[in-house]
Amino acid sequence: MMSEISLGILDLAENSLRAGASLIEISVGVSSYEGTLNVSVRDNGCGMTAEQLEKAVDPFFTTKETEGSGLGLPFLKYSAECTGGTFRIESVKGEGTCVKAVFGLFHINRMPLGDIGATVRAVMVLCADVVFSFSADGRGFVMDTRAIRKILGDVPLESAPVMEYIKEYLEENIQETSGEIKL
Amino acid sequence: MKSIEELNAIRDKMKDQVGLRSENPDCTKVVVAMGTCGINAGAREVLNTFAEEIAAKKVKDVMVSQSGCIGMCKYEPVVEVYGPGNEKVTYVEMTADKAKEVVEKHIINGQIVNDYVLK
């Protein structure tokens, strides 16, 4: 079983990569008033047919010909639903997939959000472009690697000073956005 | 909050050292298994450490990528290193510290770290 929601998000992003995505949008939104923690991962990968979509949360279904039966989606669905939350996947063949999970923020069964910054950095290593938005009770920020590349010009995103700055940027802004809310 | 605009200064400082990443097909590939099993065993920290160390040590011609579950779930996190001649070394039960050692010894100096290789 997953120990962090952020690991579940990384697992979703991995699905996106295997669907050939070149852009992955990760969004985490917290509302203490509503008592919800909303997570979504949207990609521009190959998408699924209606039939594949229906089977996507079945732990015994996979399109893979090698190992692995794809427990990621059923895990995440269960972890959201057992906090009184919801889980939804939308997909259009040839256009992409979007997974949305809502967790009960204050529910005793909710896993901690965990290290979302580390998840975003891992996805940045693997995917051409990433958009990460994080908000909590009206505060928040958006990081878009396409905007970062524009600033950097010829300097690669994966060079050490850039990666170090992005790590600090994510950590500080996540911390400030979260404020006093226990995530 | 920090602003991404601060990267302007970093870019200006780095203008003369572009082209760290290579599209050379003969480059070394580091493939981290990132199935649900790998992720839950700690593949995220292993992947991030490889990327950071390779950048920090300015190693050229290395690509970090991912694969799905390769059927060795009990040995996760698993990392496969493909050399320039495409020969493969499989490292098992990896950690961030082991990843640093593999970058230093195997990727930079060409010495396979036998202690972590799948037996």
Q: What is the pLDDT of residues A4-50, one digit of tens each?
A: 999 999 999 999 999 999 999 999 999 999 999 999 999 999 999 98
Residue A102 lies in a domain: yes
Spatial distance between the Cα atoms of A160 and B59, rounded to a whole number of angstroms: 11
Cα separations in angstroms, A46 against A39, A43, A76, B3, B107:
21, 9, 21, 33, 34
> Which residues on A lie below 8 Å from B42 (Cβ)?
none
The residue range of the domain holding A160 is 5-178
Report if residue A183 sits inside a domain.
no
In this structure, is residue A156 part of a structural domain?
yes
Mean pLDDT of B96-111: 96
Banded model confidence at residue B98, pLDDT cuts 50, 70, 90: very high
Give A25: exposed, middle or buried? Use CB within 10 Å, 0-12, 13-18, 19+.
buried
ipTM metric? 0.90
Which of B69, B70, B79, B103 to probe the A interface (max A CBs under 10 A)? B69
* Structural domain includes residue A25: yes
Contact call for residues A168 and B6 (beta carbons, < 8 A): no
Mark yes or no for CB contact B55/A163 under 8 Å: yes
Q: Do B2 and A160 touch (CB under 8 A)?
A: no
Whether residue A68 and residue B6 make contact (CB cut-off 8 A), yes or no, is no
CATH of the domain at A171: 3.30.565.10
Task: Label residues B102-112 b or e (16+ Cβ within 10 Å = b).
Answer: bbeebbeeeee
- The pLDDT score that the predictor gives to residue A117 is 97
- Tell whether domain B24-116 is in CATH 3.40.47.10: no
- The mean pLDDT value of chain A amounts to 91
CA distances from A63 to A49, A93, A131 (A): 12, 14, 27
pLDDT tens track of chain A, all 183 residues?
678 999 999 999 999 999 999 999 999 999 999 999 999 999 999 999 988 888 877 776 666 544 445 678 888 999 999 999 999 999 999 999 999 999 999 999 999 999 999 999 999 999 889 999 999 999 999 999 999 999 998 888 888 999 999 999 999 999 999 999 999
Cβ atoms within 10 A of the Cβ of B52, count?
Answer: 21
CA nearest B62 in A: which residue? A158
Residue A53 lies in a domain: yes
Identify all chain B residues contacting A172, using CB atoms and an 8 Å cutoff.
Answer: 1-2
Specify the number of domains making up chain A: 1
- pLDDT for B69 equals 86
What is the residue extent of each domain of chain B?
Answer: 24-116
